[in-house]
Structure 1
Amino acid sequence: MQPLVELVSKVDTGRCVCIEIANKTSSITLSSPSSYCDSGFVYCPPPPTISPGNVDHCMFVKTPSTACGSVGVLTYHYSETHTIAILFSNPFDYNIHSIYFGALITDEVRKADQALYNEMYHYDGQSDHQKLIEVTRNGESLGVHLGHVKVLATMSNDKKAILRVEILETGA
């Protein structure tokens, strides 16, 4: 697999978000991905499954010749009834909007759609299972957990942003 920095450097777009997902669990398979783009589109789709111990990526880019960024949400299911959702927002105009990312773990099966995007983007609280973070010049990190699953994430502050996500099992 190509290093992410090399991969995003080859993309000819003003804004993009490359999401790397590392499944560091021993028994959880991530499956049935879905994505919703409020702005932009899927450039490199998420893999259908990410098995325990594997790392994969997907990429979202802005629509060419538009004053819009790369903004949306990605979901994966685990077990029969749980969803991990990752929100990303790399806007076109940093004078109007900031770069944000968020994570949600829920014990419901959720599909990426406008309702989930709006719920996550406009979330103004902080809980163990949901967070939304504004990315500063130094980058930011977040962690959420539900039951025995924990999600850690970091995102760079760049027009070609990299969002790294780790899925872990805890002793809970």
Structure 2
Amino acid sequence: MLGPALADETAAWTALRQGGHVALMRHAEAPGGAGDPPGFRLDDCSTQRNLSAKGRADAQAVGKKLRAKGVAVARLLSSPWCRCVDTARLMDLGPAEIEPTFANAFVLAEQRNALTAGATAIITGWKGPETLLIVTHGANIQALTGSNPASGEIVVAAVAPDGAIREIGRIPVPKS
């Protein structure tokens, strides 16, 4: 019998292979706590928290695992923060499109409701047939699903008949 975490991971992989689902990935490891240093600028990665060497390796490992498992990513969206864009690009699953509604809801707390509404509209509008992969921040994923993923973890979700975004399962960063 599978344990709950493994069962959730198995359900997540099954959903992604079926297509039509949404994969919400928290950016890979970026040390330095929550948020960004004072005075950070989106147009200058040197002012932001960025991926560590482990974060870069984890992003590549996640992409490799998704390809190995036969997951077809139709669209790859990213928060405009450098650590998200870098995670998306390092996965090598296709071009990453910057989508401002997935911007950091922790840093932009006063915009959290608007960001979440915009993200919800994109997610509930996704019909597939393949997977929509979104690289964003933990606070955003928590606002959308109630889940608080680890760095590099993927929360696989589906839209319920009532329009709610429901977690199907989670995929951890592959062990190296």
TM-score, length basis structure 1: 0.30
Larger RCO of the pair (alpha carbons < 8 Å, separation 6+):
2
Report the structure, 1 or 2, having the larger helix content. Answer: 2
TM-score (norm 2): 0.30
